[in-house]
Structure formats: C-alpha cells, structure tokens
Amino acid sequence: MSNSTAQTPKQRPSQARTPQRTTVRRQTAHLEGRRDGKPLIFGWGKHLTRAEKSRIQTIAAYGFGGLVIVSLIGVFVFAIIQQNVLIPNSAIVTINGVSVSQDTYRKTLAYKAQDEWNTLQKNIATYNDQGQKIANGDNSQELTDAQNALVSQLQSQTQQYKQAGITQDTMDLLVNDQLIQHGAQKIIEQHPEAEKALTVTQADIDKRLDEFKKAFPKGQTYADFLSKNSMTDGDVKAAIALQLRQQIMQNYLASQYTSPARQVHARQIETNDKASAQAALDKIRKDQLTATDANWNDLAKTTSVDPNSKDAGGDMGWIAEGSNDAGLELWLFDPNRKVGDLSDPIGSAGGAYSVIQFLGAEQKSIDDSQLQGLKDNALNHWLSGQRVATFNKISTPDADAMQASRNLPKTPDLNAQLPDFQLPAQVPSNP
C-alpha cells in the first residue's frame, strides 16, 4: 500500500467547549502585615510589621508595669530594711574608732529613763506618806527634817527628769563607758593586779537586774517595759554593765588617792586659744626663759588669763593630782617629767590653752578634807582629762538621732508632768 492510498485518521468532530468561568478572588492585604516604614523607638523598627510592633509594645507595657511593681516592692522593702536594720545599726557617736549604734543608744536610754523613773516614784510615794503623817498631826522634828531632805532630793530629780537632760546623760554614759573600757585596759596592762577590781562580774549584773525588776512602781511591770521598748534581758544587762563599769572605775580611782602623795610644782601661761599659747611658747624659747628668769613675771602679767597665777609669774604652786585641771595634769604627772621641761600648748578641760614649765616634784601631805574631796570626784576628774586628751578621738554625737522619736522610749514618758514639791511648814519651836 502506497502512502498515497493510506487513509488519514478520521478526526473526531470537535466538541464545543463550554467556556469555564474563572473566579478571581481578591485578597485584601491585612494592615497588620504591612510595613509602614515608621520607626518604633529612637529610629529603630522601620523593618517591622504593625503586628510585630504591636507585640513589642504589649510586651514593653507589661514589662514596664512589672518593673514599676517590682520597684514599688523594692522601695517598700528598702524602707523596712532602712527603718529596722540600717538606721538602728548606724553610728550615733564614735569613740576611738568604736561606733555606738542608734539601737544601743535607744536601749540604754530606755533603761536609764526607767531606772530614774523607778527611783523618782519611790521617793514620791515616801513623800506622800510623810505628808500624810504630818497632816495627821505628827510634827516631830525628825519627820520634818526627813521630808525637808527628801523634798530637796525630789526637786533635783524632777529637774533632771526631762527629755533633754536624760538623752544627754545617756550619750555621756555611752561615751564615758568607751573611755573607761579603754582606760581600764591601759591600767591593767601597767598594773595587772588591778584586773579584778576593774572587772564587772555576772553576779554583779544579776544582782542589779534583780533590784531593777523589784523597783517598778505599782501598776507597772518589767515584762511590760521590755515588750513596749522591744528589749530583752540581754539588752538590760548590757545597760547595767555600763553603770557598773563607771562605779568600779570610780572606786578604783578613789583608792589611788592617798596621803602623803607626789605633788608637782609648775608655772604656766594660760591663754584663750591655741594660737596665743603658741605665740607665748615661741617667745619663751626665743628669749630662753629659765625657771629663775624674771621675764616669766612680765610674760605672765601681759599674756596669761589665769587670775590665780598671772601676778605670780604664772606660778601654779604645789599641785596634788586631782586638784587641778585634768587636761593639764596629764602632762604634769607624767612619771618621766623632768625639772625644766616645757610643754607644747596643752588644751585644758576648761577650754583654755596653756604652756607649762615643770619646776619640781615632792612627796607632800594632803589634809583629810581635801583628800576626801579628791576621792569623791575621782571619776569625773579623770573623765574630764580623757575627753580633752589628744590620744582620744570622740566624734560629735548625732543630735537629731538623739531626739528622734524612734530612739525615745515608749515607756516611761520622758515628758511626764510631775508634782511641784514644796518644803513642809516649819515645826514651831517649843516654848
């Protein structure tokens, strides 16, 4: 079969196709997915979509809110810590590098105020009992004399029992205690046998604590005192130890005064300030004034402000330890002092400055009256010297903290209204 005769395949008639309708769905672009090219913060964030920005803003809002809440909690917690930890433990005064905390001051003040209050109330009760007896006709001289003495004591106590006085007395007690502890340590190092006399025992503390508990006025209790002032037995014992250390130091120092005793002879140029004292010293050194030089007379008369010695060439006479200014005595009674020694300007306990020349030392008698006076004032005299001694460093107490309400006792009331105590009528003399 040739290709010419080959039949071509029959084509099927084309079927008419129904046109198909194509549905074009237009999808609206969500705005959240678009990038608007606007920065989110500080020029950053142009590449982010609105949805991403929204998420970031939401997270930031929650984060900021959380930060605010955490900050508020932090401030609250810090306030609690500050009031209950930081402030109570902050120094109210520093003595030779030892800090006394506000909390120690607060507890010592509460104990001291209560101790004074107990004594005051006991004396008031006695005063009332005596007054009742007198009102009932007991006009004995013995009773009248007893009440006269008690009234004088009560008048003094009521004057002292004021907030300003008690707070200052408490600060003095704390400063003095550090000086006493430091001084006792020095004494023991030089005289080991003094350790027993200068040591407060637990038995002494317990005895005083027992006395303190029993002294509370009717209607007041030791337990209530502790509770209201947030104190413990240990706090009270610590405050008691301060008082006992003062007492035993007074006893020890008083025992050191005997007769006869080493007395020193000296002369001085006393001035109102350190610069004037230094000028006097420079003149003495320049003119080479000696112990017998009459020029001391002229210098004392023209320069010294001490009325007791200026007209005598500055001669201070013979001085028994404890009878002169304690600041000057620290130099005068140095065991290594030699005749002719000349001091640098020395600050006195009275606030003046002196240049002193040591003229000699001898054993001399002290009369009984003067000796007893020296014994009675032993601790106060010693402390006045320690406070001006250059080897002791005492900071200025925080006056605001001393009067702050958080440091004042809840009981007793430091501003309580007390009666006005008057002397009883004089007993008529017998005809």
Which CATH number goes with the domain that contains 353?
3.10.50.40
My answer on whether 244 and 282 are in the same domain is no
- Residue 387 lies inside a defined structural domain of this protein: no
CB contact at 8 A, 261 and 364: yes
Give CA 343 to chain center in angstroms.
33
Does the predicted TM-score (pTM) go above 0.85? no
Q: In what order do the strands lie in the sheet with 315-320?
A: 315-320, 261-271, 353-364, 346-347
Residue 64 has what pLDDT? 84
Number of domains in the chain: 3
Identify the residue whose tokens are 């037995």. Answer: 233
- Residue 345 lies inside a defined structural domain of this protein: yes
Terminal CA-CA length for the chain: 191
Q: Which residues contact 320 (CB under 8 A, 6 or more apart)?
A: 261, 263, 364, 366, 370, 374
My answer on whether 218 and 106 are in the same domain is yes
Residue 205 has what pLDDT? 98
- Residue 333 lies inside a defined structural domain of this protein: yes
CB contact at 8 A, 414 and 166: yes
My answer on whether 116 and 239 are in the same domain is yes
- Residue 16 lies inside a defined structural domain of this protein: no
The domain boundary, picked from 255, 289, 307, lies at 255
Domain hosting residue 135, numbered range? 100-255
Query: How far, in Å, CA of 326 to CA of 389, rounded?
Result: 9
My answer on whether 63 and 123 are in the same domain is no
My answer on whether 346 and 297 are in the same domain is yes
My answer on whether 279 and 354 are in the same domain is yes
My answer on whether 245 and 313 are in the same domain is no
The domain boundary, picked from 193, 228, 255, lies at 255
Residue 174 has what pLDDT? 98
Residue 32 has what pLDDT? 57
Residue 11 has what pLDDT? 52
My answer on whether 129 and 245 are in the same domain is yes
My answer on whether 114 and 242 are in the same domain is yes
Residue 74 has what pLDDT? 73
- Residue 209 lies inside a defined structural domain of this protein: yes
φ, ψ for residue 322, nearest 5 deg: 100, -10
φ, ψ for residue 240, nearest 5 deg: -65, -40
CB neighbourhood size of 189 (10 A): 10
My answer on whether 57 and 196 are in the same domain is no
My answer on whether 82 and 178 are in the same domain is no
The domain boundary, picked from 365, 385, 418, lies at 365
The torsion angle over the Cα atoms of residues 204, 163, 380 and 104, rounded to 10 degrees, is 50
- Residue 94 lies inside a defined structural domain of this protein: no
- Residue 12 lies inside a defined structural domain of this protein: no
**Tens of pLDDT, residue by residue, the chain (431 residues):** 444 444 555 555 545 555 555 555 555 445 556 666 677 666 676 677 777 767 877 888 888 888 888 877 777 666 666 566 567 889 999 999 999 999 999 999 999 999 999 999 999 999 999 989 988 999 899 998 999 999 999 999 999 999 999 999 999 999 999 999 999 999 999 999 999 999 999 999 999 999 999 999 999 999 999 999 999 999 999 999 999 999 999 999 999 999 999 999 999 999 999 999 999 999 998 887 766 677 889 999 999 999 999 999 999 999 999 999 999 999 999 999 999 999 999 999 989 999 999 999 999 999 999 999 999 999 999 999 999 999 999 999 999 999 999 999 999 999 999 988 876 555 444 43
My answer on whether 228 and 107 are in the same domain is yes
Interior/surface letters 93-117, b for 16+ CB within 10 angstroms, e for the rest: bbbeeeebbbbbbbbbbbbbbbbbb
- Residue 265 lies inside a defined structural domain of this protein: yes
